Structure 1
Amino acid sequence: MKFPHAFLAFALGAVLAAGPARAVDLSMVSGDTGVGQKVLREILDQYEKKTGNKVTVVPMPPSTTDQFGQYRLWLAAGNSDIDVYQTDVIWAPQLASQLVDLTEATKDVVGAHFPQIIQSQTVDGKLVALPIFTDAPALYYRKDLLDKYGVKLPATWAELADTAKLVMDKERAAGNKDIWGFVFQGNAYEGLTCDALEWVMSNGGGQIVEPDGTISINNPKAAAALEMARGWVGTISPPGVLAYQEEESRGVWQTGNAVFMRNWPYAYSLGESEGSPIKGKFDVTTLPPGSGEGARPAATLGGWNLAVSKYSKNPDAAIELVKWIASPEMQKYRALNASYLPTIQALYDDADIARKQPVIPRWKEVFLNAVPRPSAQAKVRYNEVSSQFWTAVHKTISGEGTAADNLADLEVSLTKLKGAAW
C-alpha cells in the first residue's frame, strides 16, 4: 500500500508533537557507507528545518568492528557529547545497560515495524534501539556477461566458482585483463563473520553457536565450506580480497572488474547511478547453497538502529530525533534515494518505492534465507566470539593452517569463553 500524504504528515506531526519547546544541539554517530551519509544529512536537514534543533553527525569508520570498539569506550567513559548512536542489530545485548529504554516513548510507532526486528532490539523487556533500516546480502551478478557467454545463474557455490572462472577467463582472453570472477568481504573483521557464516550455514555446517548454546562450529561441513573459500583466493578472487571490506568489494565491482559480488543492498543504487560503468548491466539474486545434505541458501541478517545514550543531556529531544529518522516518511526517503531496506512493513508495498527501486520488494525473497549471528547466545561476549571466529576464518582463507585445525582450535577457545561468561 502507498502511504497517503495526509498519513505521513500526521505521522511526522505526532513524532514532533511532544518535542522540546526550545531548540537544542544534538549529536549522533553514523558509519554509513556509499551515499548513506549524504542521505542521512538530507534527513537531518529536514528535521532541523521543522524543529529548529541542530544535529551534528560524527562520522565513524566503515568497519563495524572499529565502530563498536569506539562506542564501548565512549559509553564506558559516560560521554555526554554523543546523544544518539547508530547501532548494529547485534549490539543490543552488549550495550543495553547504557542506553535509554524507549519502550514507553515509542509505543505509538513500534507496531509498524517487523516484529522480529523490534524483538532483536529488546533486552530484558526494554526496547533499547529503534530500527531505521534492515539488511540482508545478496549475490550481485553481471547479467550481460552471463548472457554473452550463454551461462546460467549458478545453483550452488561450486557452480558459482566454475561460472566465475569460465567468464573471467573468456573476458581476459578478449582483452579485459583486470576482471575477476568473485569479490567478497575477506578482511579480518565483523564483515568476514557475516560472509563466513553464510558459507558454513549454506553447507549444513551450523550457526557457530546454536540457539541452545551448543558450540557447533568444529565439524566437517563447516571445514569444507572454509576450504572452498580458500580455493577462491588467487583463482577467481584477487589476492587482495583478504583485505577487502564492503567498499573495496564494491569498488572492484562497480568499475566493471568482477563477474559476481556478495554485498548488501546499498550497493544496488550506486551501481545503477548515473555514470556507473555497470549501470543496466547487472542484477541480484539470493546467495547460493552449498552441496550435499543439509545445504540451503543463507544470508546473514543485518540492519541498523538508533539508540539514545543514557548520558545524553537532552534525552527527550534525542528520542524525538530517533523517531523522526525511523518514521515511515524518512524510511521511504532513504529507500528511494539509497535503496536501503525499510523496517516498516507497509513500505514494501509502496508504489513509489516499487517504481524507483524495484529491487526492494524483491528483497523479500532474500529475507526468507536470513540467519542471525549468535549474539543472543553469546550476549555481552558476542564480540569476542565473533572476533575468534573471523580470526580462524581469515587464517584459513589466507593459507595459515587447515580449516579443520583452525576450527578445532576455535572450539577450544569458545568453550573456555563459554565456561567463563555464558
Structure 2
Amino acid sequence: MFTRVCKTVLSVMAAVLWGTASVQAATVTISCGAVGAERQLCEQGTQAWAEKTGNQVKVVSTPNSSTERLSLYQQLLAAQSGDVDVFQIDVIWPGMLADNFIDLSKYSNGAEKEHFQSLVRNDTVDGRLVAMPWFTDAGVLYYRKDLLEKYDQPVPETWAQLTDVAKTVQAGERKAGNDKMWGFVWQGRAYEGLTCDALEWLASYNAGTIVDRDGKVTVDNPQAVKALEMAHSWIDTISPVSVLNYTEEEARGVFQSGNAVFMRNWPYAWSLAQSADSPVKGKVGVVALPKGGEDGRHAGTLGGWQLAVSKYSAHPEVAADLVMYLTSYKEQKRRAIEGSYNPTRPELYKDEEVLAKVPFFGDLFETFKNGVPRPSSATGDKYGRVSNAFYNAVHSVLSGESSAEDALGSLDHQLNRLGRRGW
C-alpha cells in the first residue's frame, strides 16, 4: 500500500514538474545577420542555449545591407510588433532605437563590466543599458603575402604606396595570364558600408569625422578633398568599375577567389579566407589600413554589433537570458575561433587558443580598441540622414559625377542645414 502511494505521489509530482516546465518554456525569435558565417554561428549558439534551458529559438535572417536592415527594424518597432524578441543592432543604432528596448542591466548581474567600457557606454542611453556588446569590428587591410613576395613589394604603409604596389602586382599577374586580377577591392556601393570606408580615408588624412563631437560640420576641408580624389583615382585602374556596387561580400568574393591583391574588409573575412576550400588559404596577411601620408594615421572605422531585447517581446526575461548567453565569455570565444569575430571582452585578446587561430587579434588590438567612431553620438537620431548624405556625396565623386570640391561643398551646406536647429 505504501509503495503504491509513493508511486502515485511521485507520478503526480513528475506531472506537476513537467507541466511547470512546459508552462515556463518559451519560444523567442532573434534576428541575425548572414554576412559570412554569421547565420551559421548564430544558429549554433542559439541552439546550445535552447538545449541548456529547454526553450526554443527561431532565427530569422535580415538584409546584409545595414541600411536596409535598419529600415526593416524601424518598421517592425514602429508597429510595436512582437515578432522579433532579440535584435542584432549596429553599434551606431542604440541612440536611434533605444526607446524600443528594455533595460538589460536588470538581467545582466553586472556582466557589462567585463566588456570594453567604450561599447558599454555606447549601449547605455539615458542610464539604461539598451543593448549588450556581441562583437566589435574595425576595418582592416587584407593582402596577398605570396604575391607581394613574388614581386618583391612591401606591405604598404600609405595609400599612395598601396596604389603603386597594387598597380605593379596587378600588371604582373595580368601579363602572366590572369586578366581578372585587380589591385584593390572594397565597399563602394552607396550605403552605410561606404560611409565606413570613406570615413577611414578622411581620418587617415587627418580630415576629421564628418561632424565632430561638438556637432560642428567639418567635412569640407582640403585634406578631405585629397582623400576622395585619391579614392576616385582607383576606379578602373586598380579597382574595377563594379566596385561602385560592392558590399562586403562582393569584395570578399573577388579577393577570396584569388583575383585581388588587397582588400578592405572586416575581420570576419579572415576565417573564410582560411577555410579548407579557399583558393587563398595560407596566402593572406592582415594589417592596419594605410595612412593618408607620412603625417597621416592608420584609421579603421569602429564597427560591431550588439544584442537588444524588444520591449514588445512577450518573453523579455527569457530573451534577456539568451542575450546574456550569446555575449558570454565562452560563446564569444567560440565565435572568435570559428568565425574570427572580434570579442568585446578584453580578456579574450590574451586567450592563447584565440590568438593561435586569429593571430592578428593581438597585433591589432589597439586598432580594434580605438576604432574611429562614426558621428552617431553627435548627430543623434539624425545620423541616418547624415550618413545617407555623406555616402551619396562620396559615391558621386567615385563615379565621376561630381568633383571632390563640389561634392564636399554641397554636403557641407546640406549638413549644416540639417543640424541648424541642433542635432
TM-score w.r.t. the length of structure 1 is 0.93
The aligned residue for residue 6 of structure 2 is none
The aligned residue for residue 403 of structure 1 is 404
The aligned residue for residue 82 of structure 2 is 80
2:242 to 227, 232, 240: 240
2:104 alignment partner, SS class: coil
Question: Partners in 2 of 1:384 and 1:155 — Cα distance?
Answer: 33
Shift of 1:21: 7.1
Contact 1:20 1:317 in 2 (8 A): no
The aligned residue for residue 130 of structure 2 is 128
Q: Return the letter of the residue paired with 1:331.
A: Q
Question: Partners in 1 of 2:102 and 2:26 — Cα distance?
Answer: 19
Which runs of 5 or more residues in structure 1 are unaligned? Answer: 1-18
Contact 1:132 1:326 in 2 (8 A): yes
The aligned residue for residue 57 of structure 1 is 59
The aligned residue for residue 339 of structure 2 is 338
How many residues are treated as equivalent by the alignment?
403
Is 1:229–2:231 an aligned residue pair?
yes
* Structure 1 residues 84-95: aligned runs within 5 Å: 84-95=86-97
Change in Cα spacing, 1:315 to 1:265, as seen in structure 2 (3 Å) is same
Contact 1:203 1:292 in 2 (8 A): no
* Structure 1 residues 54-203: aligned runs within 5 Å: 54-203=56-205
Is 1:375–2:376 an aligned residue pair?
yes
Bigger mean CA deviation after superposition, 244-253 or 168-177: 168-177
TM-score w.r.t. the length of structure 2 is 0.93
Question: Partners in 2 of 1:66 and 1:20 — Cα distance?
Answer: 37
Bigger mean CA deviation after superposition, 232-241 or 108-117: 108-117
Question: Partners in 2 of 1:417 and 1:344 — Cα distance?
Answer: 37
Provide the alpha-carbon RMSD of the alignment.
1.3
1:201 alignment partner, SS class: helix
1:250 alignment partner, SS class: helix
Percent of aligned pairs with the same residue?
48
Moved >3 Å (runs of 4+): none
Q: Return the letter of the residue paired with 1:338.
A: G
Shift of 1:419: 1.4
Contact 2:107 2:317 in 1 (8 A): no
Is 1:207–2:209 an aligned residue pair?
yes
Q: Deviations over 1:24-44 (max 9, x none)?
A: 010011123111111111111
Question: Partners in 2 of 1:99 and 1:420 — Cα distance?
Answer: 27
1:303 alignment partner, SS class: strand
Q: Deviations over 1:147-205 (max 9, x none)?
A: 00111111210110011001100110111111000000000000000000000110111
1:133 alignment partner, SS class: strand
Question: Partners in 1 of 2:198 and 2:357 — Cα distance?
Answer: 32
Shift of 1:367: 2.4
Shift of 1:348: 1.0
Question: Partners in 1 of 2:315 and 2:165 — Cα distance?
Answer: 55
Question: Partners in 1 of 2:121 and 2:27 — Cα distance?
Answer: 31
2:136 alignment partner, SS class: strand
2:105 alignment partner, SS class: coil
Contact 1:20 1:316 in 2 (8 A): no
